[in-house]
Structure 1
Amino acid sequence: MIFTSPRTPVEIPQTTLTSFVLERAQEYGDKVATVDVTGTTQYTYAELAAGVRAVAGSLSARGFRRGDVLAMLAPNVPAYPIAFHGAAMAGAATVVLNPLDTADDLANHLNESGARMIVTMPSEMEKVTALLPRTKVEEIVVFGEAEGATSFDSLLAGGDLADPGIQPDEDVVAILHSSGSTGYPKGVLLTHRNMIANVLQTSTCAPTAEDEKVLAVPPFHHAFGLIMVMNASLLQGATLVTMPRFDPGAYLKAVEDHEITRLLVVPTIATLLARSPQVDQFDMSTLRMIVSGGAALDPAIAQMCRDRLGCNVAQGYGLTEALVSFMQLETPVQPASVGQNTPNIEVKIIDVSSGEELDRNQNGEVLIRGPHVMKGYLNAEEATRKVLEPDGFLHTGDLGYVDDGGELFLVDRIKELIKYKGQQVSPVELEAVLMTHPKVADAAVVGVPDEEASEIPKGFVVAREPATVEEILTYVAERVAPYKKIRRLEFIDEIPRTPVGKIQRRTLKQRDQAA
């Protein structure tokens, strides 16, 4: 059974991403578009639009053409969207890179994408300079000044810009990488049309008013930050206050100092807002909306945020390959769901073993189809065929079901299910049980090899106060079926997570193997 979106379809304009996002930039004029959290650097909408055209001209003068690739290796800074959209206007794609990645990962991403130029920060110069001999990068550009690099300001001098002849349905505008939490990260190819659809879906389901200020902490190198935070905010005329890295005290102070109205958060930040005593030290009264993404948000945490901060809290669901596929309404019918399909999105649930389509309230793999679904994986035709069906449906790898109200409930990741003596055990279910223990601050569960059982569940726990392995294991065993019991437990200082809050299970499995 195919579940169509109950929301009014939106028309996807046949244009380029930059033309669409900045279509009202001149109208917004002197209004601040982006500003650093310190207030030292800012661009108005008029300056941003002029900067984008200038950078596009400079890239064109350097020989950038339709299909070329520029790399971005930088935290969230005010000029980030100027560089990104400058490349897009010139017809190039931008591969957005994570500054926390290893040198080997960065070299692989640069080589796979064929990037000719990299835009970065002075603080990254040593790393980037060492990468150059291993890649095809011809020029380093920095926000600021650094020896051996071109200043980004020099690109603002501009140049002649020829029409690159962009085909929105075909031409890639962004290359992002899947999180790699369960395997090696793959390059995700998003076209102009893909990203326009995503930005439209975001602005339709979670609209932002022109007078709003958005604290831009989710990294722009991730789909959540690039689409929902950066581009959706600029489309709607909001002001982006950029933070290069997350720090709890600085984050809360930024809300007060800049009178932030909207936060886009990952669940770990939502937990901070719900529970941390630090929150009471700052004025958070300007907040109107919190949108969570990147990983599942505990309904109890969402309600604690609503009660404490007096603002609406919603969450969306998607993946790098198809962001913003579901979004809660302002008052979700079922708080534990991720909401209903966003406009233009179709979903079906299939039996994992047979591939048969399932009806409402039946649990299986979630498949999604819509204009936002990626073009494919970079240089990986076989991997693309495995996840993209000929009819356009994308295999998400997530298990879930659609209820009678059309809301999607997620159960787990297929690849993360633990196979204990032939039984399937959900690590997410066990993590939820662990988190109810009063002495547990954070927790993760993975499957580790076992000669007799194939795999056994192992828990990793960050303790809130002293606890023993035995009392935690007993607590869980009393609340789950016998085959679901956690068989081993390890206390650690911190659960490794991706920048958007997903548990890095591969890291935990490697830790277990090394023990």
Structure 2
Amino acid sequence: MTIFTSPLPDVAIRDVTITQALFAALEKAPARVVLIDGPTGKAWTGAEVIAGVKALAGGLSARGFGAGHRVALMSPNSPEFAVIFHAVGWAGGTLTTLNPTYTAAEVRHQLTDSGAEVLFTIAAFEATARDGMAGTNCRELVIIEAMEAWQGPALPAQVPVDLDAHVFVLPYSSGTTGLPKGVMLSHRNLVVNVDQGLAVIKILPDETLVAFLPFFHIYGMNVMLNTHLIAGARLICMPRFDLPAFLGFVQDHRVRMVMAVPPVANALAKHPLVDSYDISSLKVFVSAAAPLGAELSNACGARTGAMTMQGYGMTELSPISHFSNEERAVAGAVGFTVPNTLCKIVDAGGQALGVDAEGELCIKGPQVMMGYLNNPEATARTIDAEGWLHTGDIACFDASGQLFIRDRLKELIKVKGFQVAPAEVEAVLQTYPGVLDAAVIGVPDDEAGEVPMAFVVLAAGVDLGGVAAHLAAELSPYKQPKHIEVIDAIPKSASGKILRRLLKDGLAAK
């Protein structure tokens, strides 16, 4: 059996929580500014972050939402997000993070499935949050702008937890297929992946990065927020990506490295506004969460003068399994295997393949999730009896150990790096009266990478405008099909499985 490993030595496995790891880093220079709120410019020092975390952890514990309890957080990026995140961890609780663009129906699903008892959100999302809480066991809503009322006497020490068995964070992912599922990640998962990342990602002490990758998503959460703060970097928190503001931050703070997704590479390669700013400080551009083609990678590098490279991972991997090396980055490759990680490429029959052979990428390591919440069947489909996580991605290794992602076995659609499960959109479509059947596929898009497209079978007299309005009411904007086509029948196999390839082939033939 051919097993691919890291060219780097294993990292030590630390017996600390992710918040203890953060505090150990911040306490080295407590007066240093570590977080800046992009819209307001308000700065937080390391000492202020620690104090805020301990005070909110004390308040959560005093109100009965400490050890063993589940907290939900629905917020754009801000320094307060980091405080809430780590306060829940310090108090021994479990945190589930929600996309702030969610509709009330999507909020309700995650609150119900996760078992969250209290929800933190900003004032702008209060109405959606309250609607989403209806009918769930989530009985408290905390508005982040007024969360001082929830602070209590500082909790002086980490509430003891089992580093391997305690579920700390529950981000939601569709995995290789199906509806969104809670990904159970332990403190061990997060800490070891931070250390794996630090073994391959060159982060300079006291450098400043622009944090527009959403913290609710594992890429923004553990690579951007945790890894960079633990490495001694400073983050400017952007609630959403805005090109002029982003370019201004890069110019004014002399930003050296950008962590991004392919649509940002597209903007830097093509948008005329880039020429209006001095971004000569930019030396490294990292893209992950969705494939970045060699052509766009080269165009971004040529326009910015930055080394453009990729990383690979998934929520179920906390998230990093592969990352490019600045000295040996290869266009189109997602890099080398990180330490403490084993990989194999298998064919349809499960046989391991060698160098340059394409098959499904399988990964084993301490960053692999504990499993999916309340879903042992989906867990067993993803992690086999030998502990290999089956990624659903078709890939190959070259002779130097660089990994190339070729295609997806899984049905997920990647919109600007966010997952869209066709089954979720199809289920919403089929709840609309007069939609007799539906299928959803991903189609290429210059800006987003992919966007959903729906095919529907309609009863007589049903208006597509009503279908679109129904989708808008039930789904976040990025999940909504950008095109809806009416067809006579959805192609299916004898067992009833949607034959999405036939739908894609039909589009290609037009």
TM (normalized to structure 1)? 0.79
Any gaps of 5 or more consecutive residues in structure 2? 415-421, 423-438, 448-476, 489-510
Q: 2:258 corresponds to which residue? A: 263
Q: 1:208 corresponds to which residue? A: 203
Find the partner of 1:245 among 240, 247, 255.
Answer: 240
2:322 is the counterpart of 1:326: yes
Change (3 A) 1:387 1:329: same
Shift of 1:122: 0.5
Change (3 A) 1:351 1:139: same
2:53 is the counterpart of 1:52: yes
Q: 2:82 corresponds to which residue? A: 81
Q: Note the aligned Cα RMSD (angstroms).
A: 2.8
1:347 aligns to what SS in structure 2?
Answer: strand
8 A Cα contact 1:376 1:384, kept in partner: yes
Q: 1:141 corresponds to which residue? A: 142
> Structure 2 CA distance, aligned partners of 1:239 and 1:15?
22
> One-letter code of the match for 1:183?
G
8 A Cα contact 2:176 2:382, kept in partner: no
2:211 is the counterpart of 1:235: no
8 A Cα contact 2:61 2:67, kept in partner: no
> One-letter code of the match for 1:18?
T
Q: 2:73 corresponds to which residue? A: 72
Structure 1 runs, 4 residues or longer, greater than 4 Å off: 159-163, 179-182, 455-463, 506-510
Change (3 A) 1:130 1:343: same
> Structure 1 CA distance, aligned partners of 2:362 and 2:166?
24
5 Å matches for 1:33-432?
33-144=34-145, 151-160=146-155, 164-178=159-173, 183-322=178-317, 323-332=319-328, 334-352=330-348, 354-416=349-411
> One-letter code of the match for 2:254?
E
Shift of 1:180: 7.4
> Structure 1 CA distance, aligned partners of 2:22 and 2:441?
46
> Structure 1 CA distance, aligned partners of 2:39 and 2:483?
39
Change (3 A) 1:460 1:294: closer
> Structure 2 CA distance, aligned partners of 1:114 and 1:458?
31
Shift of 1:78: 1.3
> One-letter code of the match for 2:129?
V
2:97 aligns to what SS in structure 1?
Answer: strand
Q: 1:436 corresponds to which residue? A: none
Shift of 1:413: 0.6
Change (3 A) 1:162 1:77: closer
Shift of 1:161: 5.8
Q: 1:511 corresponds to which residue? A: 484
1:28 aligns to what SS in structure 2?
Answer: coil
8 A Cα contact 1:61 1:160, kept in partner: no
Deviations 1:446-504 (A, max 9, x none): 9xxxxxxxx999966669xxxxxxxxxxxxxxxxxxxxxxxxxxxxxxxxxxxxxxx97
> Structure 2 CA distance, aligned partners of 1:156 and 1:261?
36
1:96 aligns to what SS in structure 2?
Answer: strand
Shift of 1:250: 2.0
Shift of 1:163: 5.5
> One-letter code of the match for 1:358?
L
TM (normalized to structure 2)? 0.80
1:109 aligns to what SS in structure 2?
Answer: helix
> Structure 1 CA distance, aligned partners of 2:215 and 2:446?
29
Shift of 1:181: 9.4
Percent identity reads: 35
Deviations 1:317-352 (A, max 9, x none): 011111110111113363221111011110001112
Any gaps of 5 or more consecutive residues in structure 1? 145-150, 418-426, 429-445, 447-454, 464-502
8 A Cα contact 1:64 1:91, kept in partner: no
Shift of 1:260: 2.4
Shift of 1:411: 1.1
Shift of 1:182: 5.4
> One-letter code of the match for 1:350?
V
8 A Cα contact 1:398 1:411, kept in partner: yes
Range 166-175 or range 249-258, more displaced? 249-258
Change (3 A) 1:140 1:298: same
8 A Cα contact 1:306 1:312, kept in partner: yes
> One-letter code of the match for 1:348?
K
> Structure 1 CA distance, aligned partners of 2:176 and 2:395?
20
8 A Cα contact 1:56 1:161, kept in partner: no
Change (3 A) 1:105 1:335: same
Shift of 1:135: 1.5
